[in-house]
Amino acid sequence: MKKVNILIMITIVLLIGVISIPVVAADKLPVVIGLQGPITGAYAIEGEMAKQCVEIAASLINEKGGILDGRMIEIRVVDDACQPKAGALAAMKLISQKDVVAAIQTYGSSVTQPGADLYEKFKKINMAYGAGIVELTRKGYKYFFRMCSSVDKQGNFFANKVVPLFNAKKIAIMHDNQSFSAGLAEYTKIGLQSKIDAGEVEIVYYDAINPGESDFAVPLTKLRETNPDIIYFTGYFPEAALVVRQARNIGITCPFIGGDSAINSEFIKIAGLEMAKGCFMTQEPMPSELSYSKSKMFLEAYQAKYGEIPSSPWAVYAGDSLNVIAYAIDETGSTDSDVLVDYLKNKMNNFNGVTGPIGFDERGDRTGTLHTLYVVNDKGELEIYNP
Amino acid sequence: MKVFLEQLLNGLTTGSFYALIALGYSMVYGVMKLINFAHGDLFTLGSYLGYTILVLGTAYTTSYLGLWGGMVVTMLIVATCLALVGTLLERIAYRPIYSSGRLPLVVSALGASIFLENSIMVIWGARPQAYISEVIPAKILNIAGLRISIIQIIILILSFILMSILYYVVQKTTFGAAIRACAIDRNTAALMGINIGTIIFFVFAVGPALGGMAGVLVGMYYRKITFIMGWNYGLKAFTATILGGIGNIPGAMLGGLLLGVLEMLGSVYISTAFKDVFVFLILILVLIFRPTGILGEKVAEKV
Amino acid sequence: MTTRDIINNIKQTVKTKQKWPIPVIITLFVFFPILINNSYIIDVAFFLGFYTLLGLSLNIVLGEVGLFDLGHMGFAAIGAYVTAILNTSFGISVVILLPVSAIAAGAFAYLVCSPVIHLRGDYLCIVTLGMGEIIRLTLVLNPFGITGGPNGVFGIDFPSIGTLFVVDNSIKFYYFIWIIVGFVVLALVRLQSSRIGRAWNCIREDEIAAESTGIDVRSYKLLAFVIGAALAGVAGNVYATKLMIVSPESFDFMESCLLFCIVLIGGMGSIPGIIIGAAAISLFPEIFRTFAQYRMLIFGAAMVLMMIFRPEGIWPRKRGAIELKSIMTKAGTENG
Amino acid sequence: MAKEKNVEIKNNNIDISIGKEEKTVLHAENLTKIFGGLTAVNKINMKVKQGQISSLIGPNGAGKTTVFNVVTGIYKADGGRVLFKGEDLAGNKPHQIIKKGIARTFQNIRLFSNMTCLENVMAGQHCRSQQGTWSAVLQTAGYKHEESVIRKNAENRLKQVGLWRFRDELAKNIAYGNQRMLEIGRALASNPDLLILDEPSSGLNDKESEDLIIFLNSLLKENLTILLIEHDMNVVMGISHWVTVMDEGKKIAEGLPEAVYSDPQVIEAYLGKEDEEEEY
């Protein structure tokens, strides 16, 4: 009899599940685009901001009368809590809704991965706005696009531009063992290899700290003993801020350069202005620096609604992903994935989005993103560094 | 050598955080035989309360009471609030299920922990908060080539005071004797006329209070506080508790400090990344060879 | 209508020995994916199966023998990574790897548990906890560059028998996991009523009495750990093939805690209970996703209330005549 | 295995003339156990004869239970040795010792509270069965057969201790006296040669203890040997063939009940104690 109980319970529970699923709108008029992001969990802030950006972008398009002569754009948000399992479910949730024509993918590489596999299987365009690890676009996905740039580009930028700029001989690289930052550190090393072989530079320190922790005195003391010319921290802002503070406290004075996730308004808040100012970061154009016609409009709209401009570049990429997809649909006049893929990869070049001209190469990587070196100025703002 | 001393100091600083939190675990366990998983999040809560008080009250605290006065007052307010929350937690989440065995208590504790953690997230938001610098003495002393921040000294002294007070209360007073009696055998203690209610109240008030103060100190030391940090600190503190001998209050203090130093040694001489592995390995070894922890005394099973 | 009522009703139907529900339910269950033509819900059902399997595996250790194990997800991680690594780097079919990962997890459990098996209650709890953390951290730190570090390992194949039958869509996965669960349930029901199950329960009730009743406490505890770990390994294997990626954060302490709760919410040692517990744990977040950030908050509160109002779990194991009667009749026939 | 035992019991209805049988079953030589400072058991020598009921008596804290715990392998002896049928038991774990044929009960009853009475008794036969995990999962013929045998023995034992009507009750729910009997039943289920009872009559009323005496005597017909710790002098005198008296870890007297009863030392140590107790 045990089985009976089991089965009854399961069906009851599943029925509850069925009931609770939001009903798919019968009205097919709007073009539905999915957004998968961490609405809850540790990176909830990124998800929240991405949501806001995408909504702004959509509303801007809709105000102009939508796409495909008069069809509005509708956003459907699913939460993946920044966990792979939840990511797979979230992706499934979008895929199973037949009217979702394309998905804007999530923040964090290990979450993007299972999603990308699923979208690929079900032939849905999916565009990642916050997944830096290189492998994603090396697996021959057809329907996967990456709006943000992959870490190797940034690594090379650091190796070829930043290092000479400071004419540094001894370089310390510190990451935090998370997909993105470990990857960036790895590719920076690769980028530096030629110089190392030539004996121009050496990596005197290469180690990881544990994310979520607060005390980095030990690794930093080790680092201090190697007295490097520059420190490159590839991790995220919460740790970055503490690393800077504690590094300065134990008397490390050499320039601190952060990866593109290391420095933002939060960083300055945590590190405190006195410590934060003079810190550098390798970054794709920050929202505040975006000076393209479209970005102005976008940022004004955002500010008008939320009182501040988004502090994270990823969020803006999410918004831009929507722009690109909408544009492609409008141009091709079709919502068929294959048509769109063909258009995005082969026909479209330099669509001017919020984050500048956008195009995609065969692998789905965005072309033409330029990294720049930013510095925190005395007012605690990020400005492009020009010595 | 200089490096080593600096590191030792850092180790002791983190150690004293662990010790302060571990005390909460240990006392509750001693009396209730319950692993209070929510304790880590009480610590986080303390940290956030301190943050709010300092931010909102900066004007008052600094202008009327000055830097130090402000700090002390904050500490006291946080301690009181946490004592309140702690006892409330016990009333709501634990008291109704004492009768129904220990495992339900564990689940309830886990539930309470999840609840607290997420309420903190809902109230203060998911993004990490930072203690503002104006309220923290950020001076760095340079003693014989050693760089020591004032706040570090404050932490060491303060936690030493707190711990020695508790140590005195528990080891030297009759009330302390009552607590220890409960830790050994609650029912007999009750039969001996000890008021278990008071003991439980004390334990659930003082434990979280200490945890909360540790939270404020952590905030002042690192500035950054996140709503998930409770897990990490809680786990470490719990490890420290076991290390020192669970239910044994001096043991918790020792365990905490020891863990801090071990961590430091581990990351200096092995690898920063492998630090935690190292810590847990030590823990497991200790348990294999001295299952009742360092100070925990062996109890022979009566058959 | 509270869950309690529902359960009481069902218990009534069971007591009154009405035969009609069984075929109805089974058919409902089998045709569920066809009826619900929504791959998202089917995936949710899959993960329900996944958690049920893990819950059952932990139930052996926690429910039957009463050993606190807060690192159980570590065993699943072993299974998952064995599958992932062997499959991606040596192209061994994941179906073959199913038993392999079970054995690997079991063997691992045997190795790490034998030195600490004598520990009681909370000490064992903290050791298993530490062990789980060590496993996770080691995976993150990528020893010998085989675990792919924080990225984990991806590109794992689907389960397939040659090329003729491939488990490649939600529905197939749904059947895949639930068939496994079915077999496991059958096996566990049989174990429960056997001398092994009795020995386990004896240990849970009173170790010393068990020892002097002739039960080799140590080896039976180990047996429980090994079987539990092996099942967890199987779960890990299925997880890896379903997500096609394994990464450390899927096996963290929180997950182990959730497993712990599955067993206790469902009811210690009660197989239907475990399935309900798994449903509670795995469906709750999905159902309440619309509540976004309040979701986990409600979840935590629910756990506390649950323990206050039904500490023995939703569906505690009912010990009594039923299982024994069946044996009695057998005995009668065989010795008559 | 279990089956054969069963049969053996059935055929063994020859009445043993009490006291004639002189074969020693259990022999403790200079048995010593030390806890920290105090010597709980000090060089105890005692013999238990085949087919007899021997008693170990003495005031509280005399170390009686400790002797039992050493014999049944729960404690390790610090000195001396225990011979069972001439074999040294040293280094055996409790679960191995019961397999050799020594079953015991506990002073403070230790039942499997949340299992039914029948399950308790079935568990008692664990050491007499050997079916493994796989055969249980696959429900092999061997497994089914063994399970049925276990079941049958359990029923017999349960009837024997008069608890058949409680077979499906949880052990924790039956009356105290019945729990004692159930524990004895569980011990008997392992078909032991030597049954060690730790204060079986404590907490029983007169009626119950009388029944117990009769029951124990009836057990002798099964070619069982019984060793019991007892407080209740009447019980001891009523059934014991041989009495050993302990005080403060030492053996102070042994012999036939009557002899021991009149031994001044015993009266001093044992009954004297009782007087004191009366004063308080």
Q: What are phi and psi of B178, to 5 degrees?
A: -60, -45
Sign of the CA dihedral running D192, D198, D204, D209: positive
> What token pair was written down for B294?
């360092």
Tell whether A335 and A254 lie within a shared domain.
no
Assess whether pLDDT exceeds 50 at residue A22. Answer: no
Assess whether pLDDT exceeds 50 at residue D11. Answer: no
pLDDT digits (tens, 9 = 90+) for A64-114: 888 887 888 989 888 888 888 788 888 888 887 878 899 998 888 778 888
- CB proximity list for A91: less than 8 A, separation 6 or greater: A36, A78, A80, A103, A114, A115, A118, A119, A126
Q: How far apart are CA C19 and CA C21, in angstroms?
A: 6
List own/partner pairs for C4-13 with CB under 8 A and 24 or more apart: C4/C310, C6/A12, C7/C314, C7/C315, C10/A4, C10/A5, C10/A8, C10/A9, C11/A5, C13/A4
Which residue in the set D110, D144, D167 is minimally distant from C209, CB to CB?
Answer: D110
ipTM of the complex, rounded to two decimals = 0.77
Give residue limits of the domains in chain D: 13-101+191-280, 115-188
Chain B residues contacting D via beta carbons under 8 Å: 300, 303
Asked if residue A119 is part of any domain, the answer here is yes
The answer to whether D186 faces chain C, any CB pair under 8 Å, is yes
The answer to whether B272 faces chain A, any CB pair under 8 Å, is yes
What is the strand order of the sheet A31-37 is part of? A73-79, A31-37, A100-107, A125-130, A144-146
Q: What is the greatest pairwise CA distance in chain D?
A: 65
C208, D74: Cβ pair inside 8 Å? yes
Question: Letter for the amino acid at A170?
Answer: K
Contact pairs from chain C to chain D, CB under 8 Å: 125
Assess whether pLDDT exceeds 60 at residue A18. Answer: no
pLDDT of residue C200: 94
Q: What letter would DSSP give residue D267?
A: I
Assess whether pLDDT exceeds 90 at residue D35. Answer: no
Q: What are phi and psi of A170, to 5 degrees?
A: -105, 120
**In which residue are the tokens 């009323």 written?**
D205
- 8 A C-beta contact, residue B275 and residue B239: no
> What token pair was written down for A207?
């180690």
Selected residue of C5, C20, C44 to mutate for chain A interface (largest A Cβ count, 10 A): C44
Taking CB atoms and an 8 Å cutoff, what residues of chain A touch B267?
Answer: 218-219
Residue A131's nearest CA partner among A103, A95, A105 is A105
pLDDT of residue C2: 56
pLDDT of residue B61: 62
Give residue limits of the domains in chain B: 2-289
For residue A61, give the CATH number of its domain: 3.40.50.2300
Nearest CA of chain D to the CA of C105: how many Å?
18
Query: In C, residues 63-82, which contact B (CB 8 Å cutoff)?
Result: 68
pLDDT of residue D4: 41
The answer to whether C45 faces chain A, any CB pair under 8 Å, is yes
Tell whether A229 and A178 lie within a shared domain.
yes
The SS3 of residue A281 is strand
Tell whether A276 and A160 lie within a shared domain.
yes
Q: A touches D (3+ CB pairs < 8 Å)?
A: no
Question: Among all residues of chain C, which has the CA nearest to that of A2?
Answer: C272
Better-scored residue on pLDDT, C36 or B97: B97
Nearest CA of chain C to the CA of B276: how many Å?
8
Taking CB atoms and an 8 Å cutoff, what residues of chain C touch D133?
Answer: 191, 196, 223, 227
Tell whether A276 and A299 lie within a shared domain.
no
> What token pair was written down for C15?
């007591």
Which of A302-306, C71-75, C222-226 has the least mean pLDDT? A302-306
Selected residue of B33, B105, B107 to mutate for chain C interface (largest C Cβ count, 10 A): B107
Q: Is residue D7 very low, low, confident or very high in pLDDT (cuts 50, 70, 90)?
A: very low
The SS3 of residue A133 is coil
Q: What letter would DSSP give residue A355?
A: T
Tell whether A162 and A266 lie within a shared domain.
yes
> What token pair was written down for D262?
């009149």
- 8 A C-beta contact, residue C286 and residue A83: no
Q: What letter would DSSP give residue D170?
A: B
Assess whether pLDDT exceeds 50 at residue C47. Answer: yes
Question: Among all residues of chain C, which has the CA nearest to that of D130?
Answer: C195
- 8 A C-beta contact, residue C207 and residue C79: no
Q: Is residue A346 very low, low, confident or very high in pLDDT (cuts 50, 70, 90)?
A: confident
Asked if residue A205 is part of any domain, the answer here is yes
DSSP state string for A63-124 = HTTTBTTTBPEEEEEEE-TT-HHHHHHHHHHHHTSTTEEEEEEEESHHHHHHHHHHHHHTT-
Q: How far apart are CA B26 and CA B238, in angstroms?
A: 8
No. of H helices and E strands in chain D? 12, 10
Q: What are phi and psi of D27, to 5 degrees?
A: -135, 115
Better-scored residue on pLDDT, D133 or A266: D133
> What token pair was written down for A176?
């935090």
B223, A245: Cβ pair inside 8 Å? yes
Nearest CA of chain A to the CA of C206: how many Å?
27
pLDDT digits (tens, 9 = 90+) for B149-182: 888 888 899 889 998 999 999 888 999 899 888 8
Which of A190-204, A367-381, B206-220 has the least mean pLDDT? A367-381
End-to-end, the C-alpha distance of chain B in Å comes to: 54
Tell whether A55 and A86 lie within a shared domain.
yes
DSSP state string for D34-47 = EETTEEEEEEEEEE
pLDDT of residue A24: 40
Which chains lie within 8 Å of chain D at 3 or more CB pairs, if any?
A: B, C
> What token pair was written down for C24?
């109805």
B272, A272: Cβ pair inside 8 Å? no
D35, B303: Cβ pair inside 8 Å? no
Structural domain boundaries, residue A43: 27-149+290-367
Tell whether A177 and A139 lie within a shared domain.
no
Chain D residues contacting B via beta carbons under 8 Å: 35, 65, 69, 74, 106
User: Strands A100-107 and A31-37: what pairing?
Assistant: parallel
CATH number, span D13-101+191-280 = 3.40.50.300
Tell whether A133 and A32 lie within a shared domain.
yes
- 8 A C-beta contact, residue D229 and residue D236: no
A215, B224: Cβ pair inside 8 Å? no
- 8 A C-beta contact, residue A266 and residue A292: no
- Residue at a domain's end among A255, A283, A311: A283
Across residues D12-19, what is the average pLDDT?
A: 42
Number of domains in chain A: 2
User: What's the Cα-to-Cα distance from C53 to each of A349, C206, C251, rounded to whole Å?
Assistant: 50, 28, 15
Taking CB atoms and an 8 Å cutoff, what residues of chain D touch B100?
Answer: none
Asked if residue A10 is part of any domain, the answer here is no
Q: Is residue D121 very low, low, confident or very high in pLDDT (cuts 50, 70, 90)?
A: very high
State CA C159 to chain mean position distance: 20
Question: Among all residues of chain D, which has the CA nearest to that of C269?
Answer: D114
Q: How far apart are CA D79 and CA D76, in angstroms?
A: 9
- 8 A C-beta contact, residue D238 and residue D53: no
Q: How far apart are CA C321 and CA A76, in angstroms?
A: 54
Residue A317 burial (CB count, 10 A): 30
The answer to whether C122 faces chain D, any CB pair under 8 Å, is no
Taking CB atoms and an 8 Å cutoff, what residues of chain A touch B223?
Answer: 241-242, 245, 270-272
pLDDT of residue D13: 40
Selected residue of C65, C188, C205 to mutate for chain D interface (largest D Cβ count, 10 A): C205
Residue A329's nearest CA partner among A92, A51, A90, A30 is A30
pLDDT of residue D272: 59
Assess whether pLDDT exceeds 90 at residue C223. Answer: yes
Query: In B, residues 31-70, which contact C (CB 8 Å cutoff)?
Result: 35, 37
CA A145, A146, A147: angle at the middle one, nearest 5? Answer: 120
Query: In D, residues 239-268, which contact C (CB 8 Å cutoff)?
Result: none
E-strand stretches of D94-164: 102-104
Taking CB atoms and an 8 Å cutoff, what residues of chain C touch A22?
Answer: 290
Q: How far apart are CA A15 and CA A45, in angstroms?
A: 33
Report the half-sphere exposure of D1 (CA within 13 A, side-chain side).
15
The answer to whether D144 faces chain C, any CB pair under 8 Å, is yes
Q: Is residue D187 very low, low, confident or very high in pLDDT (cuts 50, 70, 90)?
A: very high
pLDDT digits (tens, 9 = 90+) for D74-90: 888 888 889 998 888 88
Tell whether A183 and A250 lie within a shared domain.
yes
| Ordered structural domains, chain C, with CATH | 36-335 (1.10.3470)
State CA D266 to chain mean position distance: 24
B226, A238: Cβ pair inside 8 Å? yes
Which residue in the set C11, C38, C245 is minimally distant from A84, CB to CB?
Answer: C245
Tell whether A142 and A157 lie within a shared domain.
no
What's B2-289's CATH class?
A: mainly alpha
Tell whether A113 and A39 lie within a shared domain.
yes
Q: How far apart are CA C302 and CA B115, in angstroms?
A: 9
Residues in chain A: 387
Selected residue of B100, B297, B302, B303 to mutate for chain D interface (largest D Cβ count, 10 A): B303
pLDDT of residue B86: 95
Q: How far apart are CA C269 and CA C55, in angstroms?
A: 10
Query: In B, residues 142-201, which contact A (CB 8 Å cutoff)?
Result: 147, 149
pLDDT digits (tens, 9 = 90+) for A171-225: 999 988 877 788 889 889 998 998 889 888 999 999 888 877 788 888 888 888 8
Asked if residue A373 is part of any domain, the answer here is no
Which chains lie within 8 Å of chain A at 3 or more CB pairs, if any?
A: B, C
Taking CB atoms and an 8 Å cutoff, what residues of chain C touch D94?
Answer: 208, 211-212
C40, A8: Cβ pair inside 8 Å? no
The rounded mean pLDDT for chain B is 85
A81 CB burial (10 A radius; 0-12, 13-18, 19+): buried
Q: How far apart are CA C285 and CA A39, in angstroms?
A: 13
Q: What are phi and psi of D28, to 5 degrees?
A: -100, 125
Which residue in the set C196, C212, C319 is minimally distant from D115, CB to CB?
Answer: C319
- 8 A C-beta contact, residue C126 and residue C69: no
B107, C303: Cβ pair inside 8 Å? yes
- CB proximity list for A246: less than 8 A, separation 6 or greater: A215, A216, A217, A220
Q: How far apart are CA C9 and CA A273, in angstroms?
A: 65
Assess whether pLDDT exceeds 50 at residue A139. Answer: yes
D43 CB burial (10 A radius; 0-12, 13-18, 19+): middle
End-to-end, the C-alpha distance of chain D in Å comes to: 54
Model pTM? 0.81
- 8 A C-beta contact, residue A380 and residue A368: no
